[in-house]
Amino acid sequence: MFAEGQMWIEPTGHGDTLESWSSADRVQWRKRGVLLRLADVSWAGADHARRHFLWAPDMRAVNGKYYLYYSVGPQNPTPSRLGVALCDTPAGPCKDSGKPLLTGGDGFEAIDPMVFVDPKSGRRLLYAGGSAGARLRVFELAPDMMTMTGEVQVDQPPLFTEGAFMHERNGIYYLSYSTGHWNASDYSVRYAMAPSPTGPWKYRGTILTSDRKFKGPGHHAFVQDPKTGEWLIVYHRWEGKAGEGPYTDDRNVAIQPITYDALGQIEPVRMSD
């Protein structure tokens, strides 16, 4: 996300907090503070699970306010949940709404929230779901950005696992998502194109895949630099790993430019340092 003349990212941490980082040049990054603490999510323990954690945040700026969407685990077998918090600035702090936005169940895992505001229609859409259930669901949000008003039925995109992301460029809607196992070399980013943010999807292939140096790229976001107009993909990957996995330790964040061909299709990204 770009705001206040800087690029901001909100990565997954170690489970007890979600933090915000910013950079003016995409090289030097500064930690801006804690957005949300697990201890401040009053409803997290309502499922009586032994341990909880925060992950997969997504922040959106709407009408001068910032909204933080996030997953609250455990993911499986206890149904995972999504939360939303309101923030005055992209650096936080953020105040949780006081209740889950969405709860999983019946084979659906409520994980990996992503919110898209359609520049054409103004529709506010929440994309969520994946992993073991591997099912994408889309919901309408009310103008307050913190309440769901209903579900939108969508077809399942090919090879979908998790981490859905929607963006629009030149009237084309792009649904991108992660495929494979999050801690293995088969984790990758694929995409489909559509005439609307809810489909129908036309599968177009892979954007990011493992190579000799970088493994398991995934759970990404697209963002456009407001100064240059350049489109970027932000994602995490394993570095310094050999074999097919499973891998351990932390993943690193990477940011690279995106190229579209004459038909609007996204060209595969070659990962670099």
Q: What pLDDT, on the 0 to 100 scale, is given for residue 131?
A: 84
How far apart (Å, rounded) are the C-alpha atoms in residues 264 and 182?
Answer: 28
User: What is the DSSP-derived secondary structure letter of residue 249?
Assistant: S
User: What is the DSSP-derived secondary structure letter of residue 98?
Assistant: S
Confidence of residue 49 (pLDDT cuts 50, 70, 90): confident
Task: Determine, yes or no, domain membership for 40.
Answer: no
Q: What angle do CA 162, 166, 172 make, to 5 degrees?
A: 135
Task: Determine, yes or no, domain membership for 80.
Answer: no
* Structural element, H or E, at residue 236: strand 231-239
Percent of the chain with pLDDT over 90: 90
Q: Kindly state the average pLDDT of the residues 220-242.
A: 97
Taking a C-beta distance cutoff of 8 angstroms, is the pair 30, 90 a contact?
no
- C-alpha torsion sign, points 92, 97, 99, 101: negative
Q: What pLDDT, on the 0 to 100 scale, is given for residue 145?
A: 98
How far apart (Å, rounded) are the C-alpha atoms in residues 123 and 117?
Answer: 6
Task: Determine, yes or no, domain membership for 28.
Answer: no
83-99 tens-digit pLDDT = 999 999 999 999 999 99
Task: Determine, yes or no, domain membership for 164.
Answer: yes
Task: Determine, yes or no, domain membership for 247.
Answer: yes
Q: Kindly state the average pLDDT of the residues 205-212.
A: 98
Q: What pLDDT, on the 0 to 100 scale, is given for residue 228?
A: 96
Q: Give the Å distances, CA to CA, from 156 to 107, 153, 183, 192, 269.
A: 14, 10, 23, 11, 24
Q: Kindly state the average pLDDT of the residues 149-176.
A: 98
Q: What pLDDT, on the 0 to 100 scale, is given for residue 134?
A: 84
The tally of domains found in the chain comes to 1
Compute how many other C-beta atoms are within 10 angstroms of the C-beta atom of residue 39: 9
Q: What pLDDT, on the 0 to 100 scale, is given for residue 77?
A: 59
Q: What pLDDT, on the 0 to 100 scale, is given for residue 120?
A: 95
Task: Determine, yes or no, domain membership for 123.
Answer: no
Domain boundaries, position 262: 154-273
CATH code at position 240: 2.115.10.20
123-138 tens-digit pLDDT = 999 999 998 778 999 9
How far apart (Å, rounded) are the C-alpha atoms in residues 191 and 203?
Answer: 6
How far apart (Å, rounded) are the C-alpha atoms in residues 114 and 163?
Answer: 8
